[in-house]
């Protein structure tokens, strides 16, 4: 069965510190997709990144970077030089190919608090 685990319920850091959010997934499919979304207090889920199972290249986008390792079934997210505006709940999600492609399986989320 598919499952996404975000073991960190809440993380609190001081502004400008680096922070890594962990995501571990389970799936039997060989083709699958991993996502990170940000949910600010307003409630709207904001798409951050999508990665397919065949692309293990790490990705960097500004202060954000993602480390995908199939060997450990992990897709971790790092924010460098964190800012107060990064405070939000971050969700990792999984979808599988085929008919289930449009069904996202979600982690429980990690609440990130950036203190000034």
Partner 1 sequence: KAGVTQTPRYLIKTRGQQVTLSCSPISGHRSVSWYQQTPGQGLQFLFEYFSETQRNKGNFPGRFSGRQFSNSRSEMNVSTLELGDSALYLCASSLALGEEETQYFGPGTRLLVL
List residues near partner 1 by CB under 8 A.
31, 33, 35, 37, 42-47, 50, 52, 91, 93, 95, 97, 99-109
Whole-angstrom distance, CA of residue 84 vs CA of residue 103: 32
CB distance 11 to 112 below 8 Å: yes
User: Which one, 13 or 106, has the nearer CB to partner 1?
Assistant: 106
Backbone phi, psi, residue 67, to 5°: -120, 110
User: Which one, 80 or 100, has the nearer CB to partner 1?
Assistant: 100
CB of residue 81 vs partner 1: minimum separation in angstroms? 26
Residue linked to tokens 């993380």: 11
CB of residue 104 vs partner 1: minimum separation in angstroms? 6
CB of residue 100 vs partner 1: minimum separation in angstroms? 6
User: Which one, 31 or 58, has the nearer CB to partner 1?
Assistant: 31
Contacts of 50 (CB under 8 A, 6+ apart): 33, 34, 35
């Amino acid at each position: 069965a598919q499952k996404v685990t975000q073991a960190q319920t809440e993380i609190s850091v001081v502004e400008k510190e680096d922070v890594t959010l962990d995501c571990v997934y389970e799936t039997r499919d060989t083709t699958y997709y991993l996502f990170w979304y940000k949910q600010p207090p307003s409630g709207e889920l904001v798409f951050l990144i999508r990665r397919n199972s065949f692309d293990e290249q790490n990705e960097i986008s500004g202060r954000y970077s993602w480390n995908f390792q199939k060997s450990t079934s992990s897709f971790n997210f790092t924010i460098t030089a964190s800012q107060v505006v990064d405070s939000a709940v971050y969700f990792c999600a999984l979808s599988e190919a085929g008919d289930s492609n449009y069904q996202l399986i979600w982690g429980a989320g990690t609440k990130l608090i950036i203190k000034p």
